[in-house]
Amino acid sequence: MKARLAAARLAACALPLCLMGALAWQGPALSSRQPKEAETFSVVLTGELNGHITPCGCSKPMLGGLPRRASYLRSLGEKSAVVRVENGDLTEALGRQDELKAETIIEALTLLRYDAVNLGEKDFRLGVPYLLSLQARFKGALLSANVCGMDGSPLFKESAIITREVAGSTLRIALVGLLSEQFAETVRSVNPDLQVKSPEEVFARLEPELAARSDVRLLLYHGPKEEAEDLARRFPGVQLIAYTHAGDHPAEAQKVGTVALACGGQDGKYVTRIRFGAEKSERASDLRNVALTPDFADNAEIMQIKHSYLERVAAEDLLGKAPKVATPNGDTYAGTAACVSCHREAGQVWKASLHARAFQTLAEEKEEKDPDCVPCHVVGLERVSGFASHEKTPHLENVGCESCHGPAAKHVRDPQVKLAPAGTASCETCHVPQHSPNFDFATYWPKIKHGHDGAASK
């Protein structure tokens, strides 16, 4: 454990100066002090961001994004004292890019004055030293009461008590973070010297002291609804239990006895706001799920944080480090220009389509070097001989013929070598619900229909 803590200190020192600078500076639009005479008290709940700093722009309108979240928080005004909490899984935690995302998200949440982040199982895939380095840069609290070392001691804060001025009096609000035991193996896969204790047992130990020290108790539970309901039945003195892993859309208002339950959905598409009355220990009276539509403008400060992240992705050449596998048939890519020289009619259809400008749409958003975005805007990024970069393989930019029909160098040399027909399966590798929620092959195909008979296999 001492070795882990030493590594954490080194990791903390290694975080970029842009992150440190943003934490020291607070823009006026986002960091105005809490009102002294707020009339009500609200909890703003988000969670399971899964690395979606901004929504994919391939299909519009799309929901979500931290820049829109910032505009929503600013819109709340000064009539409500607001507690901001995030309920875990900041990223997918699958590689270096997710580390950069985690740092970026923590930077943004600090600027947005978040009070606490409850760690989810994906967060623990980043490793304890890395999480401790994030805690050192976060002005709120990273919570995890029941994830402990083998000696039983917690590595992060079990709880935090914050205050808000409501209707002329000070309201003490306790925040507790817990993780479901069903995620113990995920946690230990990267951190074998950790254990996940029983959430019920840990909270039973904490509750008496928290009840004595606070007026309102909010439990951030990173686990499924059924387990949250069990906690609500056992601990009726809690005002709110937030849970996770209930699907894309946030949950509707629900109570178990007098305990309110809430879930903010996934991928940062929504913000859930739970309102309480002004009196101490008063129960939740209203829950609203707000979709982060384009009606909420992108906040400039948060967009700058995102652009700094993209600069780091480019500087580390993560696109050039993207893994590549061999093509299924051993062929290589020739590029769309080699195809349209013979297939002229199909080439004219392609040139008039958005596919022919797919790479430019990324460049306009400064995302042309982002491995998360590029694969569906070029030919064969994930294959040997496929797209590498704008400088090295400009002939493979955009969604071209070989995106759907496969590598075609052999066909270019010998037209008797047939290519695979395109169809629904060709489209659905990129037109997935996450990026293209309204995709329907029968509707989209006529827009790019081409070939000898204008047909496509289904």
pLDDT tens per residue across span 340-370: 989 999 999 999 999 999 999 999 989 999 9
- Least confident range of 255-259, 288-292, 451-455: 451-455
Task: Give me Rg for the CA atoms of the chain.
Answer: 25
Give the pLDDT of residue 12: 43
Token reading at 96 = 């270096």
pLDDT of residue 422: 82
Encode pLDDT of 143-164 as tens digits.
Answer: 999 999 999 999 999 999 999 9
Mean pLDDT for the chain? 88
Average pLDDT of the residues in 432-441: 81
Q: What's residue 337's pLDDT?
A: 94
24 or 145, greater pLDDT? 145
Instruction: Please check the confidence at residue 332 and state whether its pLDDT lies above 70.
Output: yes
- Within a 13 Å sphere around the CA of 340, how many CA atoms are in the beta-carbon half? 16
Interval 36-93: pLDDT, tens: 568 788 999 999 999 999 998 777 789 999 999 999 999 998 777 999 999 999 999 9
The pLDDT value recorded for residue 281 is 65
Answer whether 233's CB lies under 8 Å from 257's CB.
yes
Burial class (CB in 10 A: 0-12, 13-18, 19+), 125: buried
pLDDT given for residue 434 in this prediction = 78
Separation CA 237–CA 417 (nearest Å): 72
Q: What percent of the chain has pLDDT over 90?
A: 74
Q: Quick one: pLDDT at residue 163?
A: 95
Confidence of residue 436 (pLDDT cuts 50, 70, 90): confident
Please enumerate in sequence order all residues whose Cβ is within 8 A of that of 140, keeping only pairs 6 or more positions apart, or say none. 84, 109, 110, 113, 114, 115, 116, 117, 160
Per-residue pLDDT at 446: 85
**Candidate CATH numbers 3.30.9.30, 3.40.50.300, 3.60.21.10, 3.20.20.10; the one for domain 2-309:** 3.60.21.10
The C-alpha atoms of residue 128 and residue 8 are separated, in whole angstroms, by 8
Return the pLDDT at 36: 52
Would you say residue 28 has pLDDT above 60?
no
pLDDT of 133 strictly over 90: yes
Q: Please report how many Cα atoms fall inside a 13 Å half-sphere around the Cα of residue 288, on the Cβ side.
A: 9
Q: Is the pLDDT of residue 122 over 60?
A: yes
- Residue 414's CB is within 10 A of a number of other CB atoms, namely 8
d(CA 120, CA 266): 13
Looking at the chain, the whole-number percentage of residues with pLDDT higher than 70 is 89
Structure tokens at 30: 């986002």
The fold of the 324-448 domain, in CATH, is: Flavocytochrome C3; Chain A, domain 2 (1.10.1130)
Average the pLDDT over 23-47 and give the result.
61
pLDDT at res. 209: 97
- CATH 1.10.1130.10 in the chain, residue ranges: 324-448
Boundaries of CATH 3.60.21.10 in the chain?
A: 2-309
Structure tokens at 449: 């229909």
Which of 355 and 420 is assigned the larger pLDDT?
355
Main-chain dihedrals φ then ψ at residue 117, nearest 5 degrees: -125, 120
* Other Cβ atoms within 10 Å of 259 Cβ, number: 24
pLDDT of the residue at 224? 97
Nearest to 434 by CA among 32, 63, 46: 63
Two tokens, residue 306: 């995102």
Whether the predicted pLDDT of 457 surpasses 60: no
Buried b / exposed e over 7-41, threshold 16 CB at 10 Å, is bbeebbeebbebbeebbeeeeeebeeeebeebebb
The predicted pLDDT at position 329 comes to 85
Q: SS in 3 state form for the chain?
A: CHHHHHHHHHHHHHCCHHHHHHHHCCCCCCCCCCCCCECEEEEEEECCCCCCCCCCCCCCCCCCCHHHHHHHHHHCCCCEEEEEEECCCCCCCCCHHHHHHHHHHHHHHHHCCCCEEECCHHHHCCCHHHHHHHHHHCCCEEECCCEEECCCCECCECEEEEEEEECCEEEEEEEEEEECHHHHHHHHHHCCCEEECCHHHHHHHHHHHHHHHCCEEEEEEECCHHHHHHHHHHCCCCCEEECCCCCCCCCCCEEECCEEEECCCCCCCEEEEEEECCCCCCCEEEEEEEECCCCCCCCHHHHHHHHHHHHHHHHCCCCCCCCCECCCCCCCCCCHHHHHCCCHHHHHHHHCCHHHHHHHHHHHCCCCCCCCCHHHHECCCCECCCCCCCCCCHHHECCCHHHHHCCCHHHHHCCCCCCCCCEHHHHHCCCCCCCCCCCCHHHHHHHHCCCCCCCCEC
On the question of pLDDT at 6 being above 60, the answer is no
